[in-house]
Every structure is written in structure tokens, then in C-alpha cells.
Amino acid sequence: MTAHCVTLEAMRARIRSASPAGTSGVRLLAVSKGQPAAAIRELVRCGQRAFGENYVQEALAKQRELAGVEVQWHIVGPLQSNKCRDVAQHFDWLESLDRAKLVPLLGAARPPGRPPLNVLIQVNIDDESSKHGCNPSQIDELARRVVATPGLVLRGLMAIPAPHPDPSMRIASFRRMSRHFEALRARHPCVDTLSMGMSEDFEEAIACGATEVRIGTALFGPRHQMEPAP
Ligand SMILES: *Cc1c(COP(=O)(O)O)cnc(C)c1O
């Protein structure tokens, strides 16, 4: 086993032991922003399939390098309307939908031959002015629009809680997300994904009901500076 595989297996073991008994597997999304395509290739060799990227241009460059490698591509970063076409054409999941204006652009650009684009609504759960994501009061309206749009399928919610030093404050945010998720799932049977938790807090997120965690540095080590200018 290579060092990459050892790290990946250790992360999977931590995810399993954080998962409440009786829950089905929590998905590990490997967040590869700031990492070279070669690092993705290594983890794919160890059996990892789902990778998350923040920047569309950076991700497209890696997709070209990795042509033929089986990767499930997720966009987790803020989305500009002029990038909707690229996302609809080249990704499997969008985890950061935060406004209604993008919905028809995404649906129209999804190639008819491909399965629908899986969509998570990003929620600004701590009402931070610096953060992307919709207000919790807007979840239902956004969800209805996604469900009504051919080429898209609503899968759930994503959040990045404020990095509060007090764990009880972080847990309170994760619990609020879990309640929004359960309410949404009760209305839309297609909803099955609650994406929350990163390298520093994924165990708390899983305890509060996350079905997917997004892990960057704890898997890959420090990020390299390869974020292109917006
Ligand atoms: C960078 C990023 C992550 C991963 O963060 P780490 O702290 O490196 O695990 C997860 N989610 C989003 C939206 C990110 O931008």
C-alpha cells in the first residue's frame, strides 16, 4: 500500500467510527482544490471515486489531465452564472447552489444524454456576511425550482458553519442543518444527502447526521497555490 492509501484508509476508519450505529455509510468527498492531478490519480488507485473542487477552471484543467480516469466530480465552491454551462457539462454534482437565477442556466446546459446533475443547496447556516449560501428561509423555494427543472435532480443540502472555537456552537449549527435536511427530505423523496464537516470538524458533523464529509488537508496535506485568478 502506498502512503496515500494508508492515509485514505485511516480517514475511512475515522469516518466509520464516528458514524452512529445503524447508519449507512457516510460518503467521503476528497476535496482536491490546490492539489495536482497526480494526487487525484493516486487516490483513485486506492479506490477513492468522489472528488470536490472549488474553482471551475482549475477543475477542468485536471479533468483534461485525467481523461479516462474514473472520477465523480463535485463542485463545492461558489458558482458564478458565467460558469453554469461548464458545471452542467463537465460535473456530476453541484454542492453550492445558492440562488434561483442559476437554476434555469444549469438545467438548459445539461447535455440530454447525461444523467441529471445532482444538486445540493448551500445554506448560510450562521448568517455570516462573508459566506455564500442561501438563507434557511429560501431553501424551500430553491428546492421547488430545482425539482421542477429537467436536467437537475435535488439531492439535499450543504453548509460550512462558522469556524467557532467553542465546539458546542459548531454542533448547534450542525444540528440546525440536520433539522432543515429532515424537513426537506419529508417534502422531497429524492433528497438523501447532507454535506457538512471538513478536516477539523467532520466527526462532530457525522454525529449530527452528515451523510457526506468534505475533506481536503487531512487527506492531501497542505494545499499548493494553484488557485487561478477569478
Ligand atoms: C476547502 C474546502 C473543504 C475542505 O477543507 P479542509 O479543511 O481542507 O478539509 C471542504 N469544503 C469546502 C466547500 C471547501 O472549500
Beta bridge partners of 121: 97, 157
- Would you call 92 exposed, middle or buried from its count of C-beta atoms within 10 A (0-12, 13-18, 19+)? middle
**Considering only CA atoms, which residue is closest to atom 6 of ligand 1?**
216
Give pLDDT tens digits for 169-215.
999 999 999 999 999 999 999 999 999 999 999 999 999 999 999 99
pTM score of the predicted model: 0.95
Q: What does the pLDDT read at residue 230?
A: 47
Say what the alpha-carbon torsion angle 38, 43, 48, 53 is, to the nearest 10 degrees: -40
Assign 21 a pLDDT band (cuts: 50, 70, 90). confident
* Domain parsing of the chain, residue ranges: 3-15+25-220
- Which triple of cell numbers denotes residue 204? 462532530
Residue closest to 139 by CA, chosen among 123, 150, 153: 123
Instruction: Determine the average pLDDT of the residues in 8-35.
Output: 93
Report the CATH fold assignment for 3-15+25-220.
TIM Barrel (3.20.20)
Assign 225 a pLDDT band (cuts: 50, 70, 90). low
Provide residues with CB under 6 Å of ligand 1: 31, 33, 54, 76-77, 160, 198-200, 214-218
**Considering only CA atoms, which residue is closest to atom 13 of ligand 1?**
76
Q: What does the pLDDT read at residue 74?
A: 98
Sequence-distant (≥ 6) Cβ neighbours of residue 143 within 8 angstroms? 121, 154, 184, 187, 188, 191
